[in-house]
Amino acid sequence: MWDMKALLLENIHHLAETVFNNAGIEVEMRPGALAEDDLIEALDGVDLLGIRSTTQVTKRVLDASPHLSAIGCFCIGTNQVDLTAAVDLGIPVFNAPFSNTRSVVELVLAEIIVLARRLTEKDRQLHAGEWNKSAAGSHEIRGRKLGIVGYGNIGSQLSVVAEMLGMEVYFYDTDDKLALGNAKRCASLEELLDVAECVTLHVDGRAGNAGLFGAREFGRMRDRALFLNLSRGFLVDYEALATALESGHIAGAAVDVFPNEPKTRVGDFASPLQNLPNVILTPHVGGSTMEAQEDIGRFVAAKLRDYTHLGTTTLSVNAPELTLAFAPGHHRITYFHTNTPGVLASLNNILADHGANIDGQLLGTRGQIGYVVTDASMAMPQDVVAAIEALPETIRLRLIG
């Protein structure tokens, strides 16, 4: 007998299904993404939703899915979910911030080498029967200046591995980040563009980053530089990139993400970068290795399992982060509420009035949202539940154990 139900979309690794099944959670797996209306229909009776980067979880979807209690993004990005609308309904969202870091780093370095050696053109020429053994335009990456825009989990690891290959690393980040190895921090994006012979983007998907790279930035880059985007499609004006490639100012590019990506593998795809020389186009596969997907499946599924069974919100991207050790024989209350003074006192007064002894309790806040995990020695009778739910600050109440 299943206790809960999870819906997993977009070919999430089967290890996630194993984690859920072992925890008594029924799983439905579907291969592709779902449009808004189809997603609302599919979420009827579903407690946990797992997606990758294509499915859009809007406020409309969330408002129409009262049974939904948590969402897992089986990837790094979470901009496909309305995080504010989710937490306003007491729905924490989890992702995998570390699991596919190495996969992306390896692909970036592989593509830099391919572009620097102009292997895309050599490959096409030889397939066409042309034996062009010239070294013209081919370069080693050793000693080249790599500019990394965004020095988070991926950017910083790329910095270390690129330096091991002999590259000279520069980076720019809006936050104050510790430089690793011999990497040099740039005070501005313009400073990085002036020096870098290869520029690669690794920034997050916040709305303020939209349009980060356009004609002005490409024009500022060094002549015959390389450009890579394995971050977010809406960061870059690809028409401007195509113009810079056609003029020869940019010598080569690799792009893994696009503003509008097909929801299924048979969807139509079009880009101004198609059929240009020395351009690598990949269908958002930066983190798509078997090793990364297996680890993502395990990691995010475990986060969702721990939330449903323990109320743990550690590494949630939108909810207060709490972990309270759970002792057998206790009864746990998890309580999302608006963050106003006196809520915890009101909750505890209700429990005290009904003779419930509090054995453990943690409170966390994040902006306008508060989250309390409370362990009591007695099961909560319905009148206690009703009294807590009647508090004006209540968002969502769950009983565990």
Q: Which of 102, 232, 332, 337 is catalytic?
A: 232
What confidence score (pLDDT) does residue 330 get? 83
Q: How confident is the model at residue 2 (pLDDT cuts 50, 70, 90)?
A: low
- Mean pLDDT across 246-257: 97
Residue 234: is its pLDDT beyond 80? yes
Which CATH code for domain 1-99+289-319? 3.40.50.720
- Is it the case that residue 273 has pLDDT exceeding 80? yes
In CATH, 321-401 is 3.40.50.2000: no
**What secondary structure does DSSP assign to 98-162, as a single string?**
STTHHHHHHHHHHHHHHHHTTHHHHHHHHHTT------TT---STT-EEEEE--SHHHHHHHHHH
Query: What one-character DSSP code corresponds to residue 379?
Result: -
Percent of the chain predicted with pLDDT > 70: 99
Q: Is residue 29 over pLDDT 60?
A: yes
Looking at per-residue pLDDT, the higher value among 326 and 348 belongs to: 348
| Contact status, residue 115 vs residue 252, Cβ threshold 8 Å | yes
- pLDDT category of residue 366 using cuts at 50, 70 and 90: very high
Q: Which of 204-208, 287-291, 370-374: highest mean pLDDT?
A: 370-374
Would you state the pLDDT for residue 77? Answer: 86
30 is a catalytic site residue: no
Stretch 2-12: mean pLDDT, rounded? 91
Cβ-count burial of 36 within 10 angstroms (0-12 exposed, 13-18 middle, 19+ buried)?
middle
Cα–Cα nearest to 52, from 199, 234, 261, 253: 261
Measured CA to CA in angstroms, residue 185 lies from 104, 168, 175, 264, 334 at distances of 22, 12, 11, 40, 43
pLDDT band at 348 (very low <50, low <70, confident <90, very high): very high
Q: What is the pLDDT of residue 380?
A: 87
Mean pLDDT of the chain: 95
What value does the mean pLDDT take over residues 348-372? 93
Which pLDDT tens digit goes with each residue over 283-308? 999 998 999 999 999 999 999 999 99
Residue closest to 147 by CA, chosen among 77, 102, 213, 206:
213
pLDDT, tens digit, for every residue of 55-90? 999 999 999 999 999 999 999 889 899 999 999 999
> How far is residue 268 from each of residues 91, 260, 265, 271, measured CA to CA in Å?
34, 10, 9, 10
pTM over 0.85: no
Q: Please tell me the CATH superfamily of domain 101-281, with its number.
A: NAD(P)-binding Rossmann-like Domain (3.40.50.720)
**What is the three-class DSSP state of 345?**
helix
Q: What is the per-residue pLDDT across 39-58, written as a single tens digit (0 to 9) for each?
A: 999 999 999 999 998 999 99
Nearest Cα residue to 150 out of 94, 232, 247, 266: 232
Q: Residue 1: is its pLDDT beyond 50?
A: no
* Residue 261 known to be catalytic: yes
CA R_g for the chain: 25
Say whether 168 is catalytic.
no
Q: Pick the catalytic residue: 163, 191, 261, 393? A: 261
Residue 340 main-chain phi, psi, to 5 deg: -125, 150
To the nearest 10°, the Cα dihedral for 110, 113, 116, 118?
-70
> How far, CA to CA in Å, does 21 sit from each of 5, 6, 39, 243, 271?
10, 10, 22, 51, 41
CA 154 to chain centre: 12
Q: Which of 318, 331, 319 is nearest to 378 (CA)?
A: 331
Q: Do the domains 101-281 and 1-99+289-319 match in fold?
A: yes
Catalytic residue (one of 117, 284, 305, 332): 284
Where in the chain are the domains? 1-99+289-319, 101-281, 321-401
